[in-house]
Chain A
Amino acid sequence: MGKKLAITGNQAVAEAMKQINPDVCAAYPITPSTEIMQRFASFVSDGVVDTELVTVESEHSAMSACIGASAAGGRVMTATSSQGLALMWEMLHIASGMRLPIAMALVNRALSAPLNIHGDHSDGMGSRDCGWIQLYSENAQEAYDNIFQAVRIAEHEDIRLPAMVCMDGFIISHSIESMEFLPDDVVKDFIGEFKPTNPLLDVDKPVTYGPLVLPDYYIEFKKAQHEAIKRAKRVTLEVAKEFEKISGRSYGLFESYRLEDAEIAIVVLNSAAGTAKDVVDAFRDKGIKVGLLKPRLFRPFPYEEVADALGGAKVIGVFDRADSFGGFGPMYMEIASAMVASGSSPLMINRIYGLGGRDFMPEDAEAVIKELVEIADTGKAGTLKEYIGVRE
C-alpha cells in the first residue's frame, strides 16, 4: 500500500506527473491549474524528473510545442484551465487529428466573460468535439488515478489519441484531502516504456504529419478517428482492471451508485457527485428508491452502458455545471441521446448548477430529488431546463 497524505488536487496531479516522468512538458500557467506546473517545474529544476520543460508565451504555443514533441516521438504532458484551453482549441483538433497521445490535466474553470476564476465545466464541455478522450474526476484521488490511466489509454496501440483528465477548479484543485499514493516503482511498471509510432525523429523512416487532405479523403480520416476513439471504451475498462490490481481501487466507464433498483436517478459529474451521494443515502434511509450515475468517460460517451444503468428509472434529473445557451446542458443532451437510442423514454429534467464556482450544497441536491419524486408521482415534468440556486 502507498502512503496516505493530505494534499491538494493540484499537488496530487503534479506528483502523478513526477511519477510518470514524461519526456516533454510544454505549459503556460493559468489559475486554477498553475500549481501543477509550478510544482512540476520544481521537480524539473531539482532534477527528480528527466523532463524537458518548455516554457512558452501562451497556451496556443504550449499545445503546439506538445504536438511537435509528441510527433517527434516523446511522451508528452501538460496542464491548463478555462481560457487556456480555449486558446488551445485550434491545436486540440490538430493533436487528435494527428493521433498524438498527449495527456493533459484540465482543472475545470468557468469561461469569460464575465471574468471568473472558479470551477465549472464550461471549458471541458466546450472541447467536447475536439477529438480528445475525456476522463472526469470526483476528487484528488480520482484525478491522481485517472492521470495514469489516461496515459495508458491514450498510448494504447489501438487508440493513439490525446486524453484529458478533468477535476473541479478550487473545489478539488485547491482543497486539501486525504488520499493514497502509489509507490514509484509500481507506477513505473504500470505506465511502461513509451513506444512512439512513426516518430518524426526516426530519420531513416521519414513521415509527414498534417498534410493537406481534400474532399477525396478527409471524411475517411475523420471516420477513422471516430472508430479509434470508440475503442477507448474497451481500453478504458481493460486499463481500469489492471489499475485495480495495483491500487485496489476500481473504475468503470461511470460510477453507478445505488442505481440497481432505483426508480429515480440523478446524473452528476465530478465533485458535486460526492455531495449528492450523501443526499442519496439520506433519501434511501427514508425508503425512496433513488440512485446516482457519475459519468467518468465523457468522450467517447458510453451510450449503451449508460442507458442500461439508467434503464430502470422512471424519472431522471441531469445536473449540468456547464451550459449551452439556447439549448439543454451538455450532459443532459448525452443522457437524453442514450435513453432515446435505447428505446426507453423516462421523464427527464435538466438542472444547471454551480456555474462560476457557485457552491453546490446538499440542499440543492435534496430539492431536485424532491422535485423528481413529485414528477414520478404525477407523471408530469414541469420546466425541463432550469437553473438552481439562482438569486432572482
Chain B
Amino acid sequence: MTPKQIVERASELRWKLPQDYHDRWVESIYAESARIASRNVDQQGKTHRLAWERRLDWLLTNRWTGMPIMVLMLALVLWLTIEGANLPSGWLATILLDIGHPFLKQLADYAHLPWWLSGVLVDGLYLTMAWVISVMLPPMAIFFPLFTILEDFGYLPRVAFNLDHLFQRVGAHGKQALTMSMGWGCNAAGIVATRVIDSPRERLIAIITNNFALCNGRWPTQILLATVFLGALAPPALTGLVAASAVLGVALLGVFLTFFSSWMLSRTVLKGETSTFTLELPPFRPPNFLRTLYTSLVDRTLIVLWRAIVFAAPAGVVLWSLSNIQIGGISLAQWMISILDGPGWLIGLNGVILVAYIVAIPANEIVIPTILMLTVMTTGVTGIGEQGAGVMFTARGDSELAMLLQAGGWTTLTAICLMLFSLCHNPCSTTIYTIWKETKSLQWTLVSTFMPIGFGIVICGAVALVWRIVGG
C-alpha cells in the first residue's frame, strides 16, 4: 500500500466506528483507571453509613420533619445573630462613636486643623467608617461561624437536597438555597459562596439574584421602619407582632423575587449557558470549632469588612462634602434633594431617601443615619442631631425618630415603600465589586446591579399608585 492508500483506507474506516466511539473510549479509560485504583489502593474507613447516620439523614430529609427542622435552624441562627450582636454592637458604638468621635474632634482642634479638613476627616471619613464597623462586624462575626459550623457538620448539603426540586422548577440549583441564606448575612459573602455551585448557568443565577436576600445592613432598616410606622398603627399589645410580620413579609417577598427572577433569567438571557447538576451529600462530621472560627473570621468576616471599610470611608467624605459645599447659599445635598423629590414622590419615597441611597451605595448600614441627617438639615428641626451638617447620628428613641420623620413629610406609605425599596435596590458597592471579581463580566455585573432597581421602581411605583387611588 502506498501512503496515500493508507490514509484513504483510514478515513474510510473512520466512518465505520460506532457513533459514540469517542465517549465510549473515554468511559473505558475511566473504568480502567478505576479498576487499577481498586486493585492497588487500600481504602481505610467504613464503606457503609452507620445506623445513626441513616436515621439522622432520614430525619433531616423527611417530608414531615425536614422542612420544620430547616425553618427552626434558620430562625435559630438569625435569632442568635440579632440577639448576640446587640451587646458587642453597643460596645463598639460607645467606643468608636461616643468616645472616639469627640476625642478625635478635640484632637483636631488642638492641632488647629482648618474646619473643613477636620470635617472631612473626622465627621465624614472616620464617622462613617466607625458606623459601618460597629453595625456590621458583630453580626457577621456571629452569623458566619454559625453557618460554617452547620456546613461542616454536613447539614447544609441536606438543605440543598431538600429544596432542590423547588429551585429546579425555576432553572436554578438547590445549593442556591445556601447562598441565599448566606446572603441574609451579607450579599458579598453570599456571592463568594456561589463558588460551591459548579454549573456555570446556575451559578450566575445565584449571583444575580442574591441581592434579594436581605443582608444584615438592611435588616435594621426593616425592623426600625416596621416598628416605628407599621407597629404604631396597631394597638400597643400587638405592636411587636405586627412589626415582626411586616419584616418577615418583606423577607419572604425577597425569597419570592429570588425565585421569580431566577425563573425569568434562566428562560431568557441565561438560556444558552451550560448547566449541570451534582450535589455531594458528605457524611456527618463533628465540626472543628477552632478551624471554623478561624476560616469564617478570616475568609468571610474580615475580607468583607475590609472591603466595606474601603468603600465606606470615601462615602463619608462625599456625604460630608455634599452637605457642606454650597452653591448659591444652598448645599449640594439640598440641590440634589429638590431635584429628586419629584421622581421620589412617584415611587412613594422622597428626595431625601433617594439622595441617601445614592450616597449610601458603599454600605446599606448608613442609609438610615444619612436619611436622619439629611432630614434634620432640610426641615430645620432642632433638639436632635445638632452636631452639624454632614454628621451622622441615631435617634435616641422611636418616638423621637417618628416625630422627626413625620416633620420630614413621611407617611405610612413612605415607610412601606422604603421597606420595599430597601429590598429591591442596587447591591452595595462591596457586593458589586465582588460580583465583578467572581464573574469577570461587565455584562453580568451590570445586570446584577440594575435588575433589582428595576424591580424596586416597578413595585414601589405600583404600591404608591394603588395606595393613592384607594386612599384618595
Q: Do A and B bind each other?
A: no
Chain B interfacial positions (CB closer than 8 Å to A): none
